Chain A
Amino acid sequence: MKRAIHITSVFLGLTLLAGCSDNTSQQAEATTSASSHAAQAVQDDKTPELHGPVVVYSSRQEHLIKPLFDRFTEETGIEVQYQTGEDGPLIARLQAEGEQTFADILYTVDVGNLWSAANKGLLAPLNSPVLELDIPAHLRDPENRWFGLSVRARTIVYSTERVDPSELSTYAALADPKWHGRLCLRTSRKVYNMSLVATMIERLGAEETQRIVEGWVDNLATRVFSSDTLLIEAIAAGQCDVGIVNTYYLGQLQQENPAIPAALFWANQDTSGVHVNISGAGITRHAKNPAAAAKLIEWLSTEEPQQMFSELNLEYPANPAIAPVALVASWGEFRQDDLNVETAGRLQAEAVMLMDRADYR
């Protein structure tokens, strides 16, 4: 009897709730049970009819997600609607809408915001063997509420004219006085730097990290930059010699000018590995179409879309079985930090305060 009710409510949830947003307790219950069954439904391949579009709230830019969604629709017939915007407001909206939300998936460009959304109880766990197989454990939530789909490596960039790569080793070593007046950094307000410092706090402890960040600030050649691109251009122009950037920004500049006198150095190879962040997604707690949403996330972890991530934005595929595009591959292989990226979210606030205290602006 109980099972019968469950099945009916799943059916109700998938058909009735797909497009409308009426809000009764019965339907809300249906949604919850639907999401816990979603993974199973997909796995069994005896999928209940996947009605209506999947709705995605995304801080990933339209031109980086639309081609993927279009392919997904072509392959499965499931339509994808998306609303792009900034993370903070999107999460606030998800929270305010509660059970009424249209969103099935939250898609962000960093782990901190996924962690924050999960922490607020806005994401539902998805137990998916496909994702467990495709996505390495350190790139997804230990509780399966979100999954990294592409990897953004943040490492050291140096001037090929003025720096011998043998001088370089770790992020921490950039605090050494030998880099005095030669280091460029992007603003601490950017989440990528918050994530990096949060990871350092976990690895090295708050005290040591603060000492390092203060060393960085002492070594700065000029004010902090508002973008990685400007930073790399400053290194190329000779304003400074080393910096820390996400790899794909150099990739974009190399596509415009292959001879740009700047190159990547893989940091921390003898210690913890290169710091990585993810762009990833999770299913919302009150998703109206959780089965189709699960299907989309699973699909994104497979070969073709993983390659597209690399082609569209020169990021690294999260699925280690998939090779990145030639330009990205030309930077060589590296060992990534296998600390769960969740750390970056958990310690982000602490990292922000630490950077404030170190006067890293």
Chain B
Amino acid sequence: MSRAIHTQGWFWRGLAFIAAAIVIFPLLIILSQWGIVGTGEQQIWQHLIDTKLDRLALNTLWLVLGVGSGVILLGVSLAWLTTICEFPGRRFFEWALMLPLAIPGYVMAFVFLGLMNYAGPIQRFVRLEFGQDAWFPDVQGAGGVIIILSLVLYPYVYMLARAAFLNQGRRLLDAGRLLGLNRRQAFFRIAIPVARPAIVAGLALALMETLADFGAVSVFNYDTFTTAIYNAWYGLFNLTVAAQLASLLLLFVGVTLVLEKQSRDRARYTQDGAQNRSTYHLQGSTALGAAVFCSLILIMAFLIPLGQLLVWMLEAGFGELDARYMGFLGHTLSLGAMAGLLAVSIAMLLAFVRRQPGSILARRWADLSIRTATLGYALPGSVLAVGIMLGFTLLDRSLGTLLTGSVIALVVAYCCRFLAVAYAPVESGLEQVKPSLIDAARLLGAGPGRLLRSIYIPLLRPGLITAFTIVLVDVMKEMPATLIMRPFGWDTLAVRIYTMTAEGQWERAALPAVTLILIGLVPVYLLIRSARRPV
């Protein structure tokens, strides 16, 4: 019996190793670019150091700090309100507040700037009312980008924090209240520390996407590390320096994640099993305030961009709506679903293997490979896409396969990019599973396969569904990898949006954008329904 379990353990570990290797391979290709430092590369590096590297670093730092505070403020407060409190409209906001997830950042940025810039309707109105020289805040500055990215990215924190608050149950908070903590104290001293792994996981996702973002920052012309990567590539025709800059970004993210993990490694937070929702019934002005706050965020992050897109859609007409449109829809959904399933399976596998007993060395390796495998999310999309594509062409050349430009390659590419997104909810769910439960099952003779089937998957169901939904929606929005790796004729809605926006024809991009948002609603709705049910 024990030998069978042992071999089974190796089987799972081997499988996890292969999965991780596939995802890590493109990263290695990018890192390998450090092997190339010719005079051209040296000149460019010297130029960057002389002219703008310090400004870029500072800009990026501000962006990370700003968006980081923004998503925590929005994500945690909204999650707290919709899970622990009771106020009019809570059940609606509970799911509606996830909707901004379906809005691509660059669309949001463009809508915002279109409305708020000098030539836009709001400033025109202000000038009309208060004269030509009326003061208006500088919307194109750092503040504007931070607000936009916070509004688009807070759902990551919101979703993960929500799941954590739901899992905390009421006993912990009740205990706090018995000890004389008031509402605010219970929030800051119990709920937040216990939900910290989940909040940090959501924050990490939001910040990695911020670092990788090119679309929104270029609408604002806000120079970051990522814009420098693209400038080296597209402007200076030097993909090597671009990859080198990108790997610095990876290093930064890797170190930050390790530091954070170490700072909370000792503490364990597990669920206490009670699924009853603890509620604070908000009264009077507090309840009104909560509803107003939630509405405001929903309006800014979802209704305004959607409204503007709808206006554009009506202006541009439905000329785009040809016979191929159903095809775009089908491709978008099926690619999303395939990538979602695969990414969640890999994430589950990795998280599970990491918890398998084994030598310290084996565990260290598992830890390291998982950490590396999830870093891809911080890379600017096109750079990672090229790394993946190079990997596949290398494979094709040496094995004679025809993977580049196949659906398989594209789905694997999505997994490389979004594994972090799938892993975070799974891992933060696992953090809350009591180790004693697993130990008990093991003592009773359950092998890894049985553990996975009978304990992990059922217990992690909400986390797995969350992971699947986020990956699905992210894949539907994904552009760079889709553009470069899609099979002939496999255009998706995101590709349609790109085609139109490449030359600034935002009106014509509205129809695919609205469609994308609308079909993004379906998984979000299903997610909420499943999250409501007790596990």
Contact = CB atoms under 8 A, between A and B. Distances in A.
A258 interface: no
Interface stretch (A123-131, A297-305, A330-338, A347-355): A347-355
A81 B119 contact: no
Interface in B167-199: none
Interface of B: 47, 51-52, 113, 117-119, 124, 132, 140, 218-221, 223, 227, 230-231, 233-239, 382, 385-386, 389-390, 393-394, 396-397, 400, 402, 404-405, 480, 483-484, 486, 488-489, 491, 495, 499-500, 502-505
B495 A348 contact: no
A170 interface: no
Contact of A87 (B51, B220, B234, B505): B234
Given A102-B405, A349-B237, A225 B484 contact: no
A222 interface: yes
Contacts of A352: 231, 235-236
Contacts of A252: 505
Contacts of B233: 88
B406 to A, nearest CB: 12
Contacts of A83: 486, 488
Interface of A: 21, 23, 55, 59, 61-63, 81, 83-90, 92-93, 96-98, 100, 102, 112, 116, 119, 187, 189, 191, 194, 222-230, 233-234, 236-239, 249, 252, 348-349, 352-353, 356-357, 361
Contacts of B132: 238
Contact of A189 (B47, B227, B389): B227
Given A102-B488, A230-B113, A234-B117, 16 more contacts: A63-B499, A84-B499, A89-B480, A93-B393, A96-B393, A96-B394, A112-B237, A222-B140, A223-B221, A226-B220, A230-B504, A234-B118, A238-B132, A349-B236, A352-B231, A356-B47
B501 to A, nearest CB: 9
A9 B393 CA distance: 26
Nearest to A234: B119
Contacts of B405: 102
B118 A92 contact: no
A203 to B, nearest CB: 20
Nearest to B43: A353
A225 B221 contact: yes
B124 A89 contact: no
B389 A92 contact: yes
Nearest to A22: B400
A248 to B, nearest CB: 9
Q: Is the interface of B mostly helix, strand, loop or mixed?
A: helix
Nearest to B397: A100
B118 A222 contact: yes
A137 B288 CA distance: 71
A89 B218 contact: no
Contacts of A227: 504
A230 B119 contact: yes
B221 A224 contact: yes
Contacts of B502: 59, 61
Nearest to B400: A23
**Which 10 A-B residue pairs are closest in the complex by CB-CB distance?**
A237-B119, A96-B393, A352-B235, A85-B483, A233-B119, A89-B484, A239-B118, A227-B504, A356-B51, A349-B236
Nearest to A20: B402
Given A86-B480, A233-B119, A348 B499 contact: no
B47 A237 contact: no
Nearest to B386: A92
Contacts of B118: 222, 234, 237-239
A86 B396 contact: no
A187 B221 contact: yes
A226 B218 contact: yes
Given A116-B237, A222-B118, A356-B51, A86 B231 contact: no
14 contacts: A55-B488, A85-B484, A88-B239, A89-B386, A89-B484, A92-B389, A96-B390, A96-B404, A189-B231, A223-B140, A226-B218, A237-B118, A356-B47, A361-B223
Contacts of A85: 483-484
Contacts of B234: 87-88, 189, 191
Contacts of A87: 234
Contact of B119 (A23, A86, A194, A239): A239
A163 B491 CA distance: 45
A361 B237 contact: no
Contact of A86 (B221, B382, B489): B382
Nearest to B488: A81
B504 A90 contact: no
Nearest to B495: A84
A226 B488 contact: no
A348 B233 CA distance: 12
B119 A236 contact: yes
Given A93-B389, A226-B220, A98 B397 contact: yes
Contacts of B404: 93, 96-97, 100
